[in-house]
Amino acid sequence: SQQGEEDPQALSIQEGENATMNCSYKTSINNLQWYRQNSGRGLVHLILIRSNEREKHSGRLRVTLDTSKKSSSLLITASRAADTASYFCATADSGTYKYIFGTGTRLKVLA
Amino acid sequence: EAGVTQFPSHSVIEKGQTVTLRCDPISGHDNLYWYRRVMGKEIKFLLHFVKESKQDESGMPNNRFLAERTGGTYSTLKVQPAELEDSGVYFCASSQNYRETQYFGPGTRLLVL
The sheet with strand A19-24 has its strands ordered as A5-7, A19-24, A71-76, A61-66, A55-58
Residue A107 CA to residue B14 CA, distance in Å, equals 34
A102 touches chain B (CB under 8 A): yes
pLDDT at B2: 77
For residue range A9-20, what is the model confidence (pLDDT) as tens digits? 899 999 999 999
Rounded CA separation B26/B83 (Å): 30
Interchain pair A99, B33: CB under 8 A: yes
Q: What is residue B64's predicted lDDT score, i.e. its pLDDT? A: 96
Give the range among A35-44, B89-98, B100-109 with minimum mean pLDDT. A35-44
Alpha-carbon span B99 to B96, nearest angstrom: 8
Which one is predicted more confidently, A48 or A95? A48
The reply to whether residue A100 touches residue B106, judged by beta carbons under 8 angstroms, is no
- Tens-place pLDDT, residues B62-104: 999 999 998 889 999 999 999 999 999 999 999 988 777 889 9
pLDDT given for residue A58 in this prediction? 95
β-sheet bridge partners, residue A20: A75
Alpha helices in chain A (DSSP H): none
Reply yes or no on whether the pLDDT at A25 is more than 60. Answer: yes
Euclidean distance between CA atoms B21 and B34, whole angstroms: 10
Look up residue A36 and give its amino acid. R
Q: What's the average model confidence in pLDDT over A89-107?
A: 83
- Measure the CA angle with vertex A50, ends A44 and A53; round to 5°: 125
A3 pLDDT band, cuts 50/70/90, is low
- The mean pLDDT of B43-60, rounded to a whole number, is 93
Residue in B43, B99, B105 closest to A30 by CB: B99
